[in-house]
Amino acid sequence: MIGFFSLVTAILIAMGLFFMIVGPIGLIRLPDLFTRAHASGKCDTLGQALILLGLIVYEGFTFDAVKLLMLIIFLYVMSPTATHAIVRAAHILKYHAWKPGEERE
Amino acid sequence: MKGIERIISISVTFGILFIFWILLSAHFDAFHLVAGAVCAMLVAVISHDLLFTKPVRGGILTLLHFTHYCGWLFLEIWLAGLDVAYRVLHPDLPIDPQVVTFDTPFSDDIVRTVFANSMTLTPGTITIDVIGSTYTVHALTSEAARDLTEGRSIEKRVHRIFPET
């Protein structure tokens, strides 16, 4: 018999894995750097947070859970900043943004 | 910043750092607590002015607005992930990307950072560049672009937690 918390953990991690897989699929399917940044920036942040949340539920109310919670907060500050750094570099280098109807790269 | 303000600033910084130390170390013996207190005090004295660059106003109300904002942001992150997942997995790839430049009334650096990061986390938008209070944003869809320049829902949210800017 699987415990309730193990089940919640499994569901959360499965959802996290779903988003972690969608991120790379987006990298392949989307046409240019800027749109790819959307896929990697958002799906990965959500996926990682869900996996960590699952681990917090598994861990219960301990110091390790608090550390994992801090990791989530850190991720939410770091991920947009990293995404921003990449697209800003592309913008400064006058990287052409894809428009509908154009040939994809 | 001097006198009583400086002491308050140092002690609050010390408190936050010491709590942070305890949470990370998870040891309650004398050695770890004393070492943590010494380190926290040292850092607090040297860099308390980094945490409070100006006197904090508002207090409880700002904290309440901020908590409310965090809840809203968490929901938006969910929607953002689902939105991107839907568009990526859709066979027709329903995207209409565009670059939008628009002005905001924000003058404070922290508020500008919060706004830029919130925009990247919410559905369909990524902040490309910030010059002064002018933002350059890449939007994945035309709806997201229209919300930035006309609806301004994120801007209003940020305005509510930091009403003075």
Choose the mutation target among B120, B127, B131 for the interface with A, i.e. most A CBs under 10 Å: B120
Percent of chain B with pLDDT over 70: 91
Question: Does A22 sit within 8 Å of B88, measured CB to CB?
Answer: yes
Q: Give the C-alpha separation, B162 to B80, whole Å.
A: 24
Pairing of strands B125-131, B134-139: antiparallel
A71 at B interface, C-beta within 8 A: no
Predicted confidence at residue B122, as pLDDT, reads 81
Q: Give the C-alpha separation, B51 to B69, whole Å.
A: 21
Phi, psi of B47 (to 5 degrees): -125, 30
pLDDT tens, residue by residue, B110-164: 788 888 888 888 888 888 888 888 888 888 888 887 877 777 777 887 777 776 6
Predicted confidence at residue B42, as pLDDT, reads 92
Q: Give the C-alpha separation, B142 to B5, whole Å.
A: 49
For residue B97, the chain A residues in CB contact (below 8 A) are 32, 34-35, 97-100
Predicted confidence at residue B38, as pLDDT, reads 93
Question: Does A38 sit within 8 Å of B84, measured CB to CB?
Answer: yes
Q: Give the C-alpha separation, B52 to B71, whole Å.
A: 24
**Please, what is the Cα angle at A35 between A32 and A38, to 5 degrees?**
145
Q: What letters, b where the CB count within 10 A reaches 16 and e where it falls short, cover B111-147?
A: bbbbbbbbbbbbbbbbbbbbeebebbbbbbbeebbeb
Question: Does B128 sit within 8 Å of A84, measured CB to CB?
Answer: yes
For residue A46, the chain B residues in CB contact (below 8 A) are 77-78, 80-81
pTM of the entire predicted model: 0.78
pLDDT tens, residue by residue, A54-100: 999 998 888 888 889 889 888 888 888 888 888 888 888 887 777 77
Q: Give the C-alpha separation, A104 to A32, whole Å.
A: 7
What is the maximum span of chain A, computed from C-alpha positions, in angstroms? 58
Question: Does A66 sit within 8 Å of B138, measured CB to CB?
Answer: no
B131 at A interface, C-beta within 8 A: no
Does the pLDDT at position A26 exceed 70?
A: yes
Percent of chain B with pLDDT over 90: 8
What's the whole-number mean pLDDT along residues B40-63? 74
A81 at B interface, C-beta within 8 A: yes
Predicted confidence at residue A91, as pLDDT, reads 85
Q: Are A42 and B81 in contact (CB under 8 A)?
A: yes
Choose the mutation target among B84, B112, B131 for the interface with A, i.e. most A CBs under 10 Å: B84
Does the pLDDT at position B31 exceed 70?
A: yes
Q: Are B77 and A19 in contact (CB under 8 A)?
A: no
A43 at B interface, C-beta within 8 A: yes
B104 at A interface, C-beta within 8 A: no
Choose the mutation target among B22, B117, B137 for the interface with A, i.e. most A CBs under 10 Å: B117
Residue A94: how many other CB atoms lie within 10 Å: 6
Q: Which of A29, A45, A76 is the closest to B93 by Cβ?
A: A29
